[in-house]
Structure 1
Amino acid sequence: MITCVVHYTIDPAQIEAFERFARAWMRLVAAHGGVHHGYFLPAEGASDKAEALFSFESLAAYERYRARFGNDPEFVAADIIRDDSGCVVRYERTFMRPLLPTD
């Protein structure tokens, strides 16, 4: 399993647009074989940071999902939310492998 952690700098004035963007991507990850662990939005402290975590069974599975970017109309529509609103200032992806508790 591989987990993608996305660190966002967002425009706090566009939080509603960011939530629309996030809901679209949660649905797309699930529809294309991944498990979305959610978006984590500002509550206290810095109001311009958000995080997302989602997993795929392998890097190859993630790459199959990623190949749809820019081509699939649903993926393009999700990005239009981001682009038109300016809700995302920048983002950075990190790939991690989970170490989970064992019984």
Structure 2
Amino acid sequence: MITVHVKYEIDPDRIADFEEYGRQWVDHVARFGGTHHGYFLPGEGDSDIAYALFSYPSLAVYEQYREDSARDAACRETVELARRTRCIRRYERRFLRPLDPAPGS
């Protein structure tokens, strides 16, 4: 399994737009075989940082999702929403793997 951690720098005046972007990507990830663990929006502290976590069974399946989603009309519309509203200033993507429990756990 591979989990993708995305850190977003967002425009705090465009949180509603970012929320809509996030709702749409949750659905997109599920359509392409992934599990979305949610978006995490600013509460207290930094007002311009948000996070997302989603997983795929393997890096190969994730890479296929990237290829397929780039051709998908609904995904392209969601990307256009972010571009048009400028709700995302920048983002960083990290790939994580879960720690397997110790044998016998």
Give structure 1 stretches of 5+ with no counterpart: none
Show CA shifts across 1:70-98 (max 9, x none): 32101101101100100000001000001
Computing the radius of gyration from Cα coordinates, the structure with the larger value is 2
Q: Aligned partners of 2:38, 2:16: CA distance in 1, in Å?
A: 16
**Aligned counterparts, 1:53-68, within 5 A:** 53-68=53-68
Q: How many residues align?
A: 103
Q: Alignment identity in percent?
A: 50
Show CA shifts across 1:44-101 (max 9, x none): 0110000000000000000110002432101101101100100000001000001266
TM-score (norm 1): 0.95
Give structure 2 stretches of 5+ with no counterpart: none
TM-score (norm 2): 0.93
**Alpha carbon RMSD of aligned pairs, Å?**
1.2
Structure 1 residues 101, 44: CA separation in 2 closer, same or farther (over 3 Å shift)? farther
